[in-house]
Amino acid sequence: MRTQFKKKTNLIAAAIIGCTVGVIQVASANVGDSSLKGHVSLAGQSANEGVNITIINVDNGNKINATTNQNGNYTLTGLKPGNYKIQIGDSNRQSEVFNIQVGQSKVMDLDDSVTSTNAQDIEVISVVANFNNFDVSSEVGTGVSAIQIERLPQINRNFLAFADQAPGVNLSVSQADGSVSVTSGAQTASAVNVFIDGIGQKDYVLKSGISGQDSSRGNPFPQTAIGEYRIISSNYKAEFDQVSSAAITAVTKSGTNELHGGVFYDYTDSGMREKTPIEEMSGDKADSKQEQFGFWLSGPIIEDKLHYFATYERKQNDDLREIRVNRQDLIDNYPQFLQDAIAQNVGATTAKFEEDLFFAKLDWNIDDDQNLSASVKYRDEVEVTGIGGENTQEYGTDKENDDLRFTVNHQYWGDSWSNNLAFTYEDAVWSPHARTSGAGARYFIGTNDQISGSIINLGAGPDFQEKGQKGWSIKEDLTLTDIIWNGEHTIKMGFKYKAVELTAIEKNPANPQVYYVLDATDITEDSTTIMAAVPYKVEYGQALDSIGNGAAVSKNKQLGFYIQDDWAVTDRLELNIGLRLSFEDSPLYTDYRTPDDVVDAVTNWSNIENADYEISDYISTGNERSSNDAQWEPRIGFSYLLTEDSMHLLFGGYGRSYDRNRFDNLQLETTKGTFPKRTVYFSGDHSQPCNAPCIPFSEDFLTTLDQPTATGSREVFMLNNNLKQPYADQYSIGVRSTFEDFSTEVGFTRVETRDGFMYQIGNRRADGTFFAPGTTWGVPWGDDIPGDGLSHLLLGNNGLESDRDSVHFKLNKEHTRNSNWGGALTYTYTDATENRQYGEIFSLDYPTIDGFGTNASAGVSDHVLVASLTYDLPWQINFATKVTLKSAAPFYGTDCRAGWSDCKYSIGYQQEKSFAIGKWAYRQIDLSLSKDFNLGDGAMYVRLDVLNLLNTRNYGVSDNWFGGAGEELPANNGAHNGVIVGPTRTLKLSVGYNF
């Protein structure tokens, strides 16, 4: 069965490639491309069929032709963002220059008998109906213009920093590593996909959603190469794949007929920022520094024919990290060697980061009917992570992050059709490993045979991973524009085939980890006694040569087809009806064979005979599993002009969108079983019980680990034989209006996500139950799989769910060449619920997901307001600002007030403070000022960015303890712990020159 399937897959792939090669000579529009349509009048009368319409890109001379249909209407597809003008027939008269943005669907009616005269006394065609501020699509989304990318304030050069201007989209910066994450609604970052020049940048392995962005302080793409982008948070069309939350479509810049270029340098350091709360308490400020510099160059190789664009950006950081000790009140009572280690390591420190980004692109206007482009992007990062909190510098991780992508794209425009063909290649590798080798020393404090908290981690860290994706794809899109039947239809259809190799090497711990527990006894306000400590255990990783060595590889094949009909039923009503069919073969999952020792152990495990699951659903011989059933994704939208003057548009839709089960979750079934974590327990003077067998501790033991003394701690991960892909159903309705230069939008969206992936504990007590009699809390950790070298059982299933209802309001004014300012405001109210914190893949505290109940979605604020403004001041001074306000987001915490055996998860909210127009848990005002100085053929600029102008303390992690048995809710529940989210007030200086 598996062999037949593989043969069929290969035959389909070969057939697709063969057909594609056959049509490449005649080779719509790509994801993120724009369209323009309208009615043409000649001498005041409706045009006849067959009138030629030419749209001309005024920057590079590229021309695209179309002809009017029998109703006198034209449709132009596959348009890139830029400045254009239109010509009717062979006349020399052309329209005035107008702008098209990424992903726009615009309407422009033309009449060559109504003319005007411009400043050069040239007659121009009149645009008699132009919805310049009006997007007639049914999508819910927001565009980010080139001016906004260039001027809005930020510390990094990450073009995604303004994605939160779209309704329901959240932008967050990690406290741990400074990485930027984009999420939408109640879903995780892995549900996002970014399309650059129509090509998805999906990360199939890690959780970031975008390759190379997992836990990275770097930028996914050179900002100087991004022309503009659009964020679609709901109701995208059938051409979008592998996304169930926000789809971001960006278009890169291209060369023009004029030589242009520029250089830039950005700088900030610790002297240009305020102290953090922890620095204020300690009195010391850590040295930190960030530099970003680069250049870009574009121009013609052959005027009107062949153009180039190239850019290089470098980023190098020394970022603030704060190493701190828990229970500082006990430091004076610690053993002297530990006091010395704490004195040498604790305090503010820096984490280094270096990134090189390169992008180059060639555009060849072969003739008026076809265009060929080729581009390459390379990203190279090295950084220090995993330091801060109780992790010292030597305990940290060195991480390398490389991402290489090639794209070749061919477009062809016929009289009433267009075709787009793209070939891509990608190779992305993410590789963190411990900074030092040897043994790690982890110090904890404990009482009454229980560990109550971590103190500090010294020595060598445990990390060793190498994960990535490598492969190629072919993508074909065909658009037909001259189909008239009960209205006018624009039919778009296409396919994508991708062969990608996914890899994961996970050897954790790579260095032995030695655990020490200091026993704090007789703690009073005046005295504390801490016993001398010897290690109570050591953990180390060990490859099982007979099974594997912690590595997993899967050569996946992906296949997708879609068809989309944009049906203009009348002049005022358009329907967008689409269907997508997606399929993926993942051999690591389908061909997996459960190890014989695991099969023997679990099938003879009496504890699970009466369990609430069937272990046979998780045992695979390589034949039980098939690739996921084909995913059918209907996408339906509509837009209806409510008034004759075309000022108000009603829009809405429904769509189902499938995401992917992350490879990093699935590979645990393979890697955890082949590189288990072993544990050796020591006897001696420590507070923890000695689990037999245990031996006296010796320093020599750390270099000669002896397996026979180790206890079994090989966790067993088993996946359900009928895993499904997660998906989201999206519903939306709204009204979009235009008032001269302003546009507004009011809308409602609902998103229902289902079949999210999770691991559950398979352990059961002797009688098959999960909880001890009379209790509702307590995982049966001690009831492990019987057998030599086995421990806990983890079962991979579908089951995570979330629902999100949101209402949004948008106000927008474009900053154009004819106006000196632009602005955008988006307010979103969200009511979101989930049955487990979405993306928290380990759901271990209850036997089924139902035990967690339904709670407010953690991390999703009810109220979010994001506003931005760009303004041209006199004397070539440019001003920009961005304001972000968020209400308190819910957090999960443990609530044991009903009894220690009846704990549960509860939802709390961070304590808020009054600010301006109300109470907001998060508030940040940023601004930038720049001044241009004409110099030669260009202009030099000096710029100042100020982040968090008011130095607002946006505190992060809250106290999430809801109290113990018989206690009241603690007064500090929801209080902060002194760690802030985002920057203190920070200044960044920039200089540059553009010509």
* pLDDT surpassing 50 at residue 508: yes
**In the predicted model, what is the mean pLDDT of residues 10-16?**
36
* pLDDT surpassing 90 at residue 790: no
pLDDT confidence of residue 316: 93
The per-residue b/e assignment along 353-374, b for 16 or more CB within 10 angstroms, e otherwise, is: bebbbbbbbbbebeeebbbbbe
Is residue 105, in this structure, part of any structural domain at all? Answer: yes
Regarding predicted confidence, which is higher, 493 or 136? 493
pLDDT confidence of residue 521: 59
Q: Is 44 left (phi over 0), alpha (psi -120 to 50) or beta?
A: left
Cis status, amide bond into 167, omega within 30 of 0: no
| C-alpha angle 103-107-112 in degrees, rounded to nearest 5 | 135
Is residue 54, in this structure, part of any structural domain at all? Answer: yes
* pLDDT surpassing 80 at residue 717: yes
Provide the pairing of β-strand 450-459 with 440-447: antiparallel
What does the block give as tokens for 408?
Answer: 């070749």
Is residue 194, in this structure, part of any structural domain at all? Answer: no
pLDDT confidence of residue 178: 57
* pLDDT surpassing 50 at residue 3: no
Is residue 61, in this structure, part of any structural domain at all? Answer: yes
Please write the tens of the pLDDT for every residue from 226-275.
Answer: 998 999 988 889 999 999 999 999 999 999 999 999 999 999 998 999 98
Please write down the long-range contacts of 968-977, taking CB distance under 8 Å and 24 or more positions apart. Answer: 968/897, 969/897, 973/893, 973/908, 974/888, 974/891, 974/908, 974/909, 974/910, 974/911, 975/911, 976/910, 976/911
Most confident of 424-438, 446-460, 775-789, 905-919: 424-438
Element (H, E) at 19: helix 2-23
Regarding predicted confidence, which is higher, 532 or 542? 542
Q: Between the CA atoms of 515, 519, 520 and 521, what dihedral angle is there, to the nearest 10 degrees?
A: 160
Phi, psi of 923 (to 5 degrees): -150, 130
Q: Cα(95)–Cα(87) distance, rounded to whole angstroms? A: 7
How many structural domains does the chain have?
1
Picking from 239, 230, 252, the residue whose alpha carbon sits closest to that of residue 374 is 252
Q: Do 580 and 635 meet the contact criterion of CB atoms below 8 Å apart?
A: yes
What does the block give as tokens for 930?
Answer: 């720049």
- For the chain, the first-to-last Cα distance in angstroms comes to 63
pLDDT confidence of residue 531: 54
pLDDT confidence of residue 932: 94
Q: What residues contact 48, with CB distance under 8 A and at least 6 apart?
A: 42, 68, 72
**In the predicted model, what is the mean pLDDT of residues 468-495?**
92
pLDDT confidence of residue 918: 56
* pLDDT surpassing 50 at residue 526: no
**In the predicted model, what is the mean pLDDT of residues 882-904?**
91
Q: Which of helix, strand or coil describes residue 188?
A: coil
pLDDT confidence of residue 54: 82
Picking from 588, 618, 471, 660, the residue whose alpha carbon sits closest to that of residue 2 is 588
Q: Do 856 and 832 meet the contact criterion of CB atoms below 8 Å apart?
A: yes
pLDDT confidence of residue 120: 44
Picking from 505, 533, 348, the residue whose alpha carbon sits closest to that of residue 442 is 533
Average pLDDT, the chain: 84
Please write the tens of the pLDDT for every residue from 166-178.
Answer: 998 988 866 555 5
CATH classification of the domain holding 45: 2.60.40.10
pLDDT confidence of residue 708: 46
Q: Cα(869)–Cα(874) distance, rounded to whole angstroms? A: 16
Q: Cα(803)–Cα(648) distance, rounded to whole angstroms? A: 30
* pLDDT surpassing 90 at residue 683: no
Name residue 988's amino acid. Answer: K
What does the block give as tokens for 146?
Answer: 């080139």
Most confident of 676-690, 696-710, 872-886, 959-973: 872-886
Is residue 164, in this structure, part of any structural domain at all? Answer: no
pLDDT confidence of residue 712: 52
* pLDDT surpassing 90 at residue 152: yes
Q: Cα(537)–Cα(709) distance, rounded to whole angstroms? A: 11
Q: Cα(182)–Cα(161) distance, rounded to whole angstroms? A: 9
Please write the tens of the pLDDT for every residue from 368-399.
Answer: 889 999 999 999 999 998 888 889 999 999 99
What does the block give as tokens for 227?
Answer: 């022309």
pLDDT confidence of residue 63: 81
Confidence class of residue 9 from pLDDT cuts 50, 70 and 90?
very low
Confidence class of residue 131 from pLDDT cuts 50, 70 and 90?
very low
Report DSSP letters for 680-727, one per residue.
EEEESSSSS--PSSEEE--GGGGGS--GGGPBP-EEEEEE-TT----E
Name residue 640's amino acid. Answer: Y
pLDDT confidence of residue 671: 85
Is residue 392, in this structure, part of any structural domain at all? Answer: no
Please write the tens of the pLDDT for every residue from 569-614.
Answer: 998 899 999 999 999 999 999 999 998 889 999 999 999 998 999 9
* pLDDT surpassing 90 at residue 221: yes
- Where in the sequence is the domain holding 83, given as residue range(s)? 31-130
What does the block give as tokens for 986?
Answer: 């920070």
Is residue 696, in this structure, part of any structural domain at all? Answer: no
* pLDDT surpassing 60 at residue 125: no
Please write the tens of the pLDDT for every residue from 618-647.
Answer: 999 999 998 767 899 999 999 999 988 888
**In the predicted model, what is the mean pLDDT of residues 671-700?**
75
Confidence class of residue 11 from pLDDT cuts 50, 70 and 90?
very low
Confidence class of residue 94 from pLDDT cuts 50, 70 and 90?
confident
Confidence class of residue 949 from pLDDT cuts 50, 70 and 90?
very high
Is residue 190, in this structure, part of any structural domain at all? Answer: no
**In the predicted model, what is the mean pLDDT of residues 146-172?**
90
* pLDDT surpassing 70 at residue 502: yes
Q: What is the largest CA-CA distance in the chain?
A: 101
pLDDT confidence of residue 319: 81
Picking from 513, 404, 397, the residue whose alpha carbon sits closest to that of residue 466 is 397
Picking from 242, 257, 229, 91, the residue whose alpha carbon sits closest to that of residue 169 is 229
Regarding predicted confidence, which is higher, 104 or 691? 104
pLDDT confidence of residue 563: 97
pLDDT confidence of residue 912: 60
| C-alpha angle 269-275-277 in degrees, rounded to nearest 5 | 145
Phi, psi of 722 (to 5 degrees): -130, 50
| C-alpha angle 154-102-108 in degrees, rounded to nearest 5 | 135
